[in-house]
Amino acid sequence: MPKRIQFKHIGWIAIGAGVTGVSIYLLMINVTLAHIEAVSGQIPFDMRPFGYAPADAAMMLDALGADGRKYYLSHQILLDTIYPAMLALTLIATICWFGQRMPKSKLVRAGIAASVGAALFDYVENLGIAAMILNWPDISAPLVFSASAATIVKSCLTTVAVSMAFLIGIIWTRLPKEDLGR
């Protein structure tokens, strides 16, 4: 009986966190990141999965101007402090939801680890972006490279975590259904 209750609740957690995460993501894509791109004419740091060089960061921060940099900190970074946790919670709950019928699965553990790692590197990326904005125009190359590396790792781990959630879901559909009610 406890497994049935857990299965039910973890599904609702996945759905609730997913709806919250998608709402925040859409708000960022359609409002804050769109505004940053419109003001600067540059793709925001958050949307550069292959990273950026010091010259790219300087061009972006200069093009933003003082008001754009303030907006990045007060709007985008603020939303992006909630989003990584919601995405991680969505992925972990989904992976656990489907993974309950795969006890001791290394794939489930790896998916959870990738989800947590993606969130952590998203937070490191945010700290790097905030540090670049707050130190503008005196940003160091190591700071830019660190923030860029965090962006790249975040992007890779997010791709891995989402792919693993889908893979675990596909495997779940192929498992015997008699265990479903337990």
Does residue 66 belong to any structural domain of this protein?
yes
pLDDT band at 177 (very low <50, low <70, confident <90, very high): confident
Question: What is the model's pLDDT at position 180?
Answer: 52
pLDDT band at 101 (very low <50, low <70, confident <90, very high): confident
Contact indicator for 180, 111 with CB cutoff of 8 Å: no
Does residue 113 belong to any structural domain of this protein?
yes
- Does position 58 have pLDDT exceeding 50, yes or no? yes
How many structural domains comprise the chain? 1
Question: What is the model's pLDDT at position 9?
Answer: 85
Per-residue pLDDT tens digits for 6-29 = 666 888 999 999 999 999 999 999
Does residue 121 belong to any structural domain of this protein?
yes
- Nearest by Cα to 91 from 173, 174, 5, 169: 169
**Once rounded to an integer, what is the mean pLDDT over residues 161-176?**
92
Tokens 């969130």 correspond to what residue? 119
Per-residue pLDDT tens digits for 135-155 = 999 999 999 999 999 999 999
Does residue 182 belong to any structural domain of this protein?
no
Does residue 181 belong to any structural domain of this protein?
no
Here the tokens at position 41 are: 């004419």
Residues with Cβ within 8 Å of residue 142, at least 6 apart in sequence: none
Does residue 71 belong to any structural domain of this protein?
yes
- Nearest by Cα to 128 from 110, 154, 157: 154
Burial class (CB in 10 A: 0-12, 13-18, 19+), 69: buried
Here the tokens at position 125 are: 């990326």
Does residue 101 belong to any structural domain of this protein?
yes
Residues with Cβ within 8 Å of residue 145, at least 6 apart in sequence: 54
- The single-letter code of the amino acid at 130 is A
Does residue 177 belong to any structural domain of this protein?
no
- Does position 182 have pLDDT exceeding 50, yes or no? no
Q: By residue range, what is the domain housing residue 83?
A: 2-169
